[in-house]
Amino acid sequence: MTQTLLYTGKAKSLYTTDNPDQLLCIFRNDTSAFDGQRIEKLERKGMVNNFFNAFIMETLNKAGIPNHFVKRHSEEASIVKKLTMIPVECVVRNVAAGSLCRRLGVSAGLELNPPTFEFFLKNDELHDPMVNDSLILTFNWASQKDIDQMKKYAFAVNDVLKKLFLEAGLILVDYKLEFGHYHGELILGDEFSPDGCRIWDAETKKVLDKDRFRKEMGDVVEAYEEVAIRLGVKLPQVA
Ligand SMILES: Nc1ncnc2c1ncn2[C@@H]1O[C@H](COP(=O)(O)OP(=O)(O)OP(=O)(O)O)[C@@H](O)[C@H]1O
Ligand SMILES: [Mg+2]
């Protein structure tokens, strides 16, 4: 397979494959916070996120939510459909945490009913500012049809995953999704892993996501692995 590096993000690297419609996505151990201001390598994280993402994407696919995942390629890489990404992030929240608390002055842990939806522009230099439908249309980042579909899929993901996590004794607090076009069709891309969502233990409210890295709580990958195992993700055995 001839592979050319196409793009290196903060946590993943995308390579071309022999199939022009598909990319190899390598999940690296690099972990970043605060728009890339703090970066550390966390052993096993790439592998855990690759298996975690594969499990979630397959689950979403079975539930009728189209996404870019094709198959797992190795312990740290997967084959994905090559998308033309929409430069906005979609965030769904079930419980208040993080930037929502800072912006609106609400307490962390407040249940959000109905769940909320926010768009953020993907731009680290500008610290991913919040945007809305009007700005997305004016700056031509996506069409009204794309906007409607992103919202629909983002909440459909919530219906599937909230239940799945709760059955494992976990609260899916919030999550970030990215979408793109594949031959004209809008589908879910990027990744779903504890790097891009918040997960708390339902009983103890123990933090089991990237907030452990942001807040320097330690045992980051151990927490990701705990979530994976509780959800039934089959991880390779540690030697
Ligand atoms: N199927 C896909 N096809 C094309 N690009 C994709 C696909 N899935 C994800 N991407 C893009 O690849 C990059 C993934 O790398 P990573 O998550 O490490 O980047 P990031 O640092 O979070 O984001 P960015 O560099 O875009 O700010 C992101 O820019 C993401 O939008
Ligand atoms: Mg990313």
What are the residue boundaries of the structural domains of the chain, listed by start?
5-81, 86-219
pTM score, two decimals? 0.97
Q: Are 43 and 239 in contact (CB under 8 A)?
A: no
**Helices of type H across the chain:** 45-62, 99-104, 133-138, 144-167, 211-214, 220-231
Atom of ligand 1 lying closest to residue 178 CA: 31
Mutate to test the pocket of ligand 1, among 10, 41, 192 (most ligand atoms within 8 A of CB): 10
11 C-alpha to ligand 1 centroid (Å): 9
Q: How confident is the model at residue 56 (pLDDT cuts 50, 70, 90)?
A: very high
- Would you say the CB of residue 121 lies under 6 angstroms from ligand 1? no
Q: What is the pLDDT of residues 87-103, one digit of tens each?
A: 999 999 999 999 999 99
10 C-alpha to ligand 2 centroid (Å): 6
Domain 5-81 is classified in which CATH homologous superfamily? Phosphorylase Kinase; domain 1 (3.30.200.20)
Q: How confident is the model at residue 35 (pLDDT cuts 50, 70, 90)?
A: confident
86-219 is classed CATH 3.30.470.20 = yes
Q: Are 72 and 57 in contact (CB under 8 A)?
A: no
Q: What is the pLDDT of residues 162-210, one digit of tens each?
A: 999 999 999 999 999 999 999 999 999 999 999 999 999 999 999 999 9
Atom of ligand 1 lying closest to residue 28 CA: 18
Residue 226: which of 190, 196, 197, 200 has the closest Cα?
A: 200
